[in-house]
Amino acid sequence: MALIKPVKGISPVFGENNFIAENATIVGDVVTGDDCSIWFNAVVRGDVNSIRVGNKVNIQDGAVIHCTYQKTKTIIGNNVSIGHNAIVHGCQIADNVLVGMGAIVMDEAVVESNVLIAAGAVVLEKAHLESGHIYAGVPAKKIKALTPETFQHYIGRIANNYVMYASWFGEEI
For residue range 110-159, list pLDDT tens digits in order. 999 999 999 999 999 999 999 999 999 999 999 999 999 988 889 989 99
Task: Please tell me the CATH superfamily of domain 3-168, with its number.
Answer: Hexapeptide repeat proteins (2.160.10.10)
Domain ranges for the chain, please list them.
Answer: 3-168
3-state SS class at 66: strand
| Beta strand pairing call for 104-105 and 122-123 | parallel
For residue range 27-79, list pLDDT tens digits in order. 999 999 999 999 999 999 999 999 999 999 999 999 999 999 999 999 999 99
Amino acid at 86: A
User: Residue 79: which of 91, 93, 65, 64 has the closest Cα?
Assistant: 93
Q: What one-character-per-residue DSSP string does 77-131 give?
A: -SS-EE-TT-EEES-EE-SSEEE-TT-EE-TT-EE-SSEEEPTT-EE-TT-EEPT
